[in-house]
Chain A
Amino acid sequence: MVVKNVVCPVCGGSCEDIQVELKDNSITVKNACKMGNGKFQEVVSEHRIKDPMIKKDGKFVKVSWEEALDKAAEILANSRRPLLFMGSETSCEAQEVGLHMGEYLGGVVDSNATICHGPTCMGIQEAGLPTSTCGVAINRSDLNIYWGTNPLASMPRHMSKYGLFPRGYWTKRGRFDRKVITVDPRKTDTAVASDLHIQLQPNSDYELLNALLTILNGKTPHHSVEQVTGIAISVMEEMVDMMLEAKFGSINVGLGAGSSFGKHRNIEMALNLVKELNNNHGTKFRIGALRGHCNVAGFNQIATYLYGYPFALDFARGYARYNPGETSCVDLLREKDVDAALVLGADLVGHTPADSAKYLCQIPMVCIDIAPGPTPSGADVLLPGVIDAFECDGTFYRLDNVPVYFEPFTDSPFDFTKSNEDTMKQLFAKVKELKEKA
């Protein structure tokens, strides 16, 4: 049967126009990009984790769901300071249970932003976020700027859906009604497709943003900035002219801005530039981050409304504290400051520095995942994951923080759990039982 309007759970684009046809052992997917298609194939893949497992003497042994769940609950309940990593590859509903469990246990709850757009979140905390939903850029933007990102690789449909090609209300000719600037040290495919490529020196984003702000304020930046950024002031002036000529400009930042030297200060400066562009220059600007991974924006939103901070929430005092660098997962692991971990829907071992990853594999770790990888191999208890948007319903937040409700096109392959939310709830109930017994 063909199912239409399926939501894709791969990147932050949350495309909701995917068409799938699921047969016995194959799936045909339309409208999805290469990354999306790859993920949809997981439904019928052979390497799917299908059984609950516990590591005994360094080897995984298949056990019953109850036994695995008991062991997982024991690890968490016996921990003095657990780390609960609520990955982005699952619904807000599952992440919410993790936050509640973290609060209950007095542990630390973190998510992918901590190793991704965390600096972007911190930049927003410094300057605020002048943004819009994607539809505003589709309909109005005659200038699109990609800063430190290569969407052709990281969010393949961004250009066609939101950035370059969409035919909006005032941009009926699509690409022909838009100019594109790409700021990237690399000559990426995105850069090649642009009208202006600012090929700055790596790690000079802050200086370049500062120089643009200076030019915008009618002054000439110090000539040393040419050497630092590798960009001629005349080119910077050309860029500012393009920005001021635009009726509506849309800036999309990637990790190149937030994760090069300067980190959240780069983002703060970018946000201040956008703020200034909106101050009576006869143009309107928005800025938004290309959230790379599935529901990474969702955790930021729900953690903020439930407990006040977008990531790195430490509940040791009975309320949430937030101090990235101290309460963020990489630092906690590096400092050996947690004694057990639960990782849901993220490959934490593969994406943290070696020291942190090593320690994570040394402490008791519970992992909920769908396929083998570094994190499942390092776990002590492995619980099979359910694929959100394929096998259960729930909510993702899109890159522009618009929540998207998704419905499944097939059922959970397991009789012991309906969804990751269900797994988390079962686990939390067991943890509570153990805690209350003690």
Chain B
Amino acid sequence: MAALIVKNGYVFDPLNEINGEVMDVFIKDGKIVSGLSEAEIKDAKVIDATGKTVMPGGVDSHTHIAGSKVNSGRFMRPEDHYKYNKPKTDITHSGCGETTKTVYLEGYEYAQMGYTTAFEAAVPPMKARHTHEEMRSIPMLDMGAYLVLGNNWFMMRYLKEGDMEKAAAYISWMMRAHKTYGIKCVNPAGVENWGWGENVSSLDEANIHFEITPREIIKGLCELNEELGIPMPMHLHANNLGHPGCYETTLESLAIPSKIKARQDLAVEWAETKIDPSRDRSIYLTHMQFNAFAGTSWRDFESGVKPLADYINKNEHVVIDSGCVPFGNATCMTGDGPSIHDIAVLTGGKWSNCDVDLECGSGVCPFTYLKNNPVHSVQWAMGLECLLLIDNPWQAIMTTDSPNGGPFTKYPIVMSWLMSNSFREQTFDECHKWANDRSELGGVDREMSLYDIAILTRANPAKTIGMVHRKGSLGIGADGDVTVYDIDPTKLDVNNHEELIRKFSRAAYTIKGGEIAVKDGEIVSLPNQRTYYSDITVDETAEKAMLADVKEWFRYYSIGFKHYPTPEKYLTNPTAINVNTEK
């Protein structure tokens, strides 16, 4: 592969504290290098980025793009597909779907926006093969996926009995068996209750039969996460999500691991960065907006982001992603079966649900966020509050919880709202007055810089999930993933938000592993993708004892033990990250 030089661009690389300096970026053999020899320069491909913005490739640390629940969404929503089609070309497959996109479209549209990495937010263990099958088909993106463990019978039993050694061995075995990357915890204790049509309403309410509380599960998983040195913090979808008043539960949940020290133990070669690439957070709250509802009903509904942001500003162990709502069509899908059921009762529309053996559940329902709807308007404001009221951008990540708040293709609109106060004011004028009356957003005049945006969409997601050895920076040794936007920072006019949206939507160049994947917003080649998973070392005797338990209880599964794991065959370029090797 010829070397590549991205010449003369304004470079934004927060992990190296580079803020708009005019620099060249060199890529050789798919990796960022400090420079090239003269012979290499002669053969190198040169991209002239003069007057353009250069960033590391985008990283999405929380998105729903692969797996059985995503496919349930596609299955039940032909109406989402037939109006949004992309025909095949000589090099690309066809695809369809505005919010529930087909796999090919997911890869292409992420790349067209300058993203090169995306992590699937929830994998039901028994259906991990399905998730990997889809990820294998998603072109261009490097991926990984989080394993849902918060309502797993084995996990709940070990945590209840306080058998942390076996619990750790179980997590290690499950990550390897299903080729997944980190721990996801969705409505702990509540989804198990949903097996009986119930939920839990507070952190100290024990669930049916297993008699374990959400607090115990969150505490246990956070402790285990750090004991095992897992790449990312425990990834929490808090209880009571989507109910007015839920911000209080979230606040309490965030406080649970405040005393737990982050410990990330990866046997990797880190890329060179000025900022320490290891993570310092012990909890990663997802789609904060949906977890920040205040009020007691939909009548007195209001934003509860402020108290949460105040807490996060004072407590460094928390990192969040926003779950912004850019208005328009969406599909709500989550492992939180009961919360989706509540939304479906509210909308009266289609509803899918799938509880999974001894493990977890999920729900899907179509949704449309309307500007003239008071609650939706507040949600729009709240999503932006999540990012603007948290002072330190290294504690925040921009997402729409795609496709829950809206499809990822609307990220450029969200970026533009963050950068442009006038655009926010224009939207206030267009939407219901509750947006202003019931949130703090109207009083915020913070306008984010391109540097901030690079933190929210590249540096921090990569740092949070422990991928800085490859992603999120342009440091030497990092993957050659680079985005060039046709934005001249010296002439940037954030009042012209329409142009800003256009330019964020169609990258001038997306370079993946040193190959030009996108040029002027069009796909020009299809670089290979990888799947990352955690291979966690644990004590062998503990693993043996744990496996004896698992086999004993496996008779309650509808699948045999031999057919439970996911073979590597389902992964593209499977890349194991060795974890917990130091101890």
Interface set of A (CB-CB < 8 Å, partner B):
5, 7, 16-17, 92, 100, 103-104, 121, 124-136, 138-140, 161-162, 168-169, 247-248, 275, 278-279, 282-284, 286, 300-302, 304-310, 315, 317-322, 393, 395, 400-405
Contact = CB atoms under 8 A, between A and B. Distances in A.
Nearest to B355: A132
Contact of A319 (B95, B197, B345, B358): B95
Given A125-B76, A247-B196, A131 B559 contact: no
B97 interface: yes
Interface stretch (B86-94, B313-321, B391-399): B86-94
A97 to B, nearest CB: 13
Contacts of B390: none
Contacts of B103: 305-306
Contact of A308 (B78, B197, B344, B569): B78
B573 interface: no
Contacts of A305: 66, 70-71, 74, 102-103, 133-134, 137
Contacts of A304: 71, 74-75, 102
Interface string B61-98: 00000101011101111100110011110000111110
A126 B76 CA distance: 7
Given A5-B563, A135-B356, A140-B196, 8 more contacts: A92-B133, A128-B364, A130-B353, A131-B352, A278-B353, A279-B345, A300-B75, A405-B563
B562 to A, nearest CB: 5
B76, B134, B567: which has the most chain A beta carbons within 10 Å? Answer: B76
Contacts of B130: 301, 401-403
Contact of B78 (A125, A134, A278, A283): A125
Contacts of A124: 75-76, 352
A128 B351 contact: yes
Contact of B352 (A128, A393, A400): A128
A135 B194 CA distance: 15
A14 to B, nearest CB: 9
Given A135-B559, A307-B96, A319-B85, A248 B364 contact: no
B197 A286 contact: no
Nearest to B345: A279
A309 B157 CA distance: 40
B558 interface: yes
B354 A131 contact: yes
B237 to A, nearest CB: 20
B129 interface: yes
A162 to B, nearest CB: 7
B71 A301 contact: yes
Contact of A405 (B95, B96, B129, B354): B129
Contact of B96 (A125, A247, A319): A319
A130 B97 contact: no
Contacts of A104: 88
Contacts of B71: 301, 304-305
Contacts of B97: 308
B143 to A, nearest CB: 14
Interface in B457-471: none
Contacts of B96: 307-308, 319-320
Contacts of A404: 559, 563
Given A103-B94, A405-B563, A168 B195 contact: no
Contact of A307 (B102, B194, B358): B102
A284 to B, nearest CB: 4
A286 to B, nearest CB: 7
Contacts of A308: 74, 78, 81, 95-97, 102
Nearest to A301: B71
B76 to A, nearest CB: 5
Nearest to A132: B355
B219 interface: no
A278 to B, nearest CB: 6
A356 B78 CA distance: 27
B68 A307 contact: no
Given A308-B74, A403-B129, A403-B133, A135 B556 contact: yes
Contact of A127 (B127, B350, B354, B566): B350
